[in-house]
Amino acid sequence: MAPPQRSRVPLEFGGPLGAAALMLLLPATLVHLLLAARSAPAHLLAPPPALPAPGALWSPWALQLCLGWLGLQVALYLLPARKVAEGLQLKDKSRLLYPINGFQALVLTALLLGLGLWAGLPLDALADMLLPLAFAATLTAFVVSILLFVKSLMAHPSALAPGGNSGNPVYDFFLGRELNPRIISFDIKYFCELRPGLLGWVLINLALLMQEAKLRGSPSLAMCLVNGFQLLYVGDALWHEEAILTTMDIMHDGFGFMLAFGNLVWVPFTYSLQAQFLLHHPQPLGLPLAAGICLLNAVGYYIFRGANSQKNTFRKNPSDPSVAGLETIPTATGQQLLVSGWWGVVRHPNYLGDIIMALAWSLPCGVTHLLPYFYLLYFIALLLHREARDELQCLQKYGLAWQEYCQRVPYRIVPYVY
Ligand SMILES: NC(=O)C1=CN([C@@H]2O[C@H](COP(=O)(O)OP(=O)(O)OC[C@H]3O[C@@H](n4cnc5c(N)ncnc54)[C@H](OP(=O)(O)O)[C@@H]3O)[C@@H](O)[C@H]2O)C=CC1
Ligand SMILES: CC(C)=CCC[C@@H](C)[C@H]1CC=C2C3=C(CC[C@@]21C)[C@@]1(C)CC[C@H](O)C(C)(C)[C@@H]1CC3
């Protein structure tokens, strides 16, 4: 087989050196955050009071729980789906099929959990195991990434993602070489993107809420808000599972360590940081402020969902009545760009809504500590970087049409600001 054509896409994330640094820094940052959240000072920028003993990181039981959780979600993914959706057209003009049964997996997981709790499952014990669980999940992410990299060496060149095929093994391992790695019809990236990590996130949140109820008699209003907001976010992602098929991760990015670690480790263990903080640092929250925070989250969700659904509907069927009247810019590829509606306000309205929700998730933790705002700060940095990556990809894809879009929609994320 001819050697794969090396992609000429510019290197990102600082190239091989940056990728190697991130593969060390991300797990170290995770350990720091987990230790800081449960420490009294809860300093984000200072070293945690005490480093964990090696024995505190490794637990065979935690690894079994991780693998068991993964196995359960794989089984739920393989159940008959209410619908099978087609992905966007690939380079070879084919379209992959994706089962749409994520919300079904959420409901079945909740039912199994309810049954377990009724039988006396000590779910709150998970709150005491976050460190070994995160270590086990990180180990799993590394093993999955190695297997994916080896698998990609046998993939056809047309199956490779433009980004993660530089020829440098460290960089390609991090970014991911194969665009849609599958085992028969099981899509590994699509599965990881929405199931084990997102559902694990809300499971950890619930365990933290239950432990707070055990400690203080009942969960605080702040803990209930954070759990509710983030359950809405995960439930929405799974209800609109099909919309992920038109996002960057599925369309452009290969599946390597970055997304494997991001999905399996970073999401469940750092996105639950507010709940972790609240368990160890109870925050008073009055009803008027709580009502204001709920309104803020609702505004963010309205923008997030409206923009994502509008673009996804338009991409799937431009003649759909809900988007047919929108103004568009034709491009040389045959695809059109929306230039009115949500996507006529700023070039990434969905990011704006998501950032507003991230702020609403942090506010119930009060303003005495920076740690609960880590997600907001990280997320803004992630989306700014992601927006720049996407702009480059769209400029390469659409050329003059994208330049016209940028002239007519000059702001990227925040109207009249950025
Ligand atoms: N919670 C979290 O950790 C994260 C959440 N997210 C969220 O995921 C969601 C998806 O974001 P992301 O995956 O970055 O990608 P987007 O959903 O923003 O999709 C970007 C793609 O949309 C298409 N597009 C861009 N502008 C237009 C337009 N004017 N008209 C039509 N199509 C357009 C282009 O693809 P093409 O033209 O090829 O179809 C572009 O590559 C966002 O809401 C984001 O907030 C993202 C990252 C992390
Ligand atoms: C620092 C680090 C490891 C970064 C990796 C980034 C990933 C954590 C994120 C990249 C894109 C993501 C998306 C979601 C979760 C986080 C990751 C994987 C997402 C599934 C969250 C729910 C949303 O509704 C979504 C489906 C739009 C979204 C898709 C992108």
Condensed to tens digits (0 to 9), the pLDDT of residues 299-318 reads 999 999 999 999 999 998 99
Q: Please name the residue whose Cα sits nearest to atom 14 of ligand 1.
A: 248
Q: Which region holds residue 160: left if phi is over 0, alpha if psi is between -120 and 50, else beta?
A: beta
Return the SS3 of 2: coil
Contact 141, 260 (CB under 8 A): yes
pLDDT of residue 248: 87
Whether 52 and 31 have beta carbons less than 8 Å apart is answered as yes
ipTM of the complex: 0.98
The yes-or-no verdict on residue 1 having pLDDT over 70 is no
Average the pLDDT over 174-201 and give the result. Answer: 96
- What the block records as the tokens of 386 is 């992601």
Q: Which residue has the higher pLDDT, 53 or 154?
A: 154
The number of the ligand 2 atom at minimal distance from the alpha carbon of 249 is: 11
pLDDT mean over 156-179: 91
From the CA of 237, give the closest atom in ligand 2: 24
Query: Which ligand 2 atom sits nearest the alpha carbon of residue 236?
Result: 24
Task: Tell me how crowded residue 282 is: count the other CB atoms within 10 A of its CB.
Answer: 16
Ligand nearest to the CA of 23: 2
Question: How would you classify the pairing of strands 336-338 and 328-330?
Answer: antiparallel
pLDDT in tens, 30-56: 999 999 999 999 999 988 767 778 788
Which of 198, 64, 207, 206 lies closest to 125, judged by CA?
Answer: 207
Whole-number pLDDT of residue 2: 46
DSSP result, 361-396: HHGGG-SS-SGGGHHHHHHHHHHHHHHHHHHHHHHH
Number of Cβ within a 10 Å radius of residue 49: 11
Q: Are strands 97-100 and 83-86 parallel, antiparallel or unpaired?
A: antiparallel
For residue 9, the model assigns a pLDDT of: 67
pLDDT digit string, tens, across residues 113-139: 999 999 999 999 999 999 999 999 999
**Helix (H/G/I), strand (E/B), else coil: 343:** helix
Between CA 186 and CA 309 the distance in angstroms is 25
What b/e string do you get for 239-264 counting C-beta neighbours within 10 Å, with b at 16 or more? ebbbbbbbbebbbbbbbbbbbbbbbb
- In the predicted model, what is the mean pLDDT of the chain? 94
pTM, full prediction: 0.95
29/1: higher pLDDT: 29
Residue 27 reports pLDDT greater than 90: yes
Q: How far is the CA of 307 from the centre of ligand 1 (A)?
A: 9
- Asked if 235 and 120 touch (Cβ cutoff 8 Å), the reply is no
Choice between 290 and 333, residue whose per-residue pLDDT is larger: 290
Span from the CA of 379 to the centroid of ligand 1 (angstroms): 14
Percentage of residues of the chain with pLDDT beyond 70: 98
CB 219 within 8 A of CB 212: yes
For the cut 80, the answer to whether the pLDDT of residue 6 exceeds it is: no
Contact 143, 265 (CB under 8 A): no
Q: What is the CA(308)–ligand 1 centre distance, in A?
A: 7
DSSP 105-174: HHHHHHHHHHHHHHTT--GGGGGG-HHHHHHHHHHHHHHHHHHHHHHHTTS-GGGB-STT-SS-HHHHHH
CB 66 within 8 A of CB 133: yes
**Percent above pLDDT 90 for the chain:** 87
Q: Residue 92 has what pLDDT? A: 84
pLDDT at position 11 over 90: no
Atom of ligand 2 nearest to the CA of 308: 27
Question: What is the CB < 6 Å shell around ligand 1?
Answer: 246-249, 251, 304, 308, 311, 314-315, 335, 337-338, 343, 348, 350-351, 354, 382, 386, 390, 393-394
Residue of higher predicted confidence among 247 and 196:
196
- How far apart, in whole angstroms, are the C-alpha atoms of residue 25 and residue 73? 28
pLDDT value at residue 7: 59
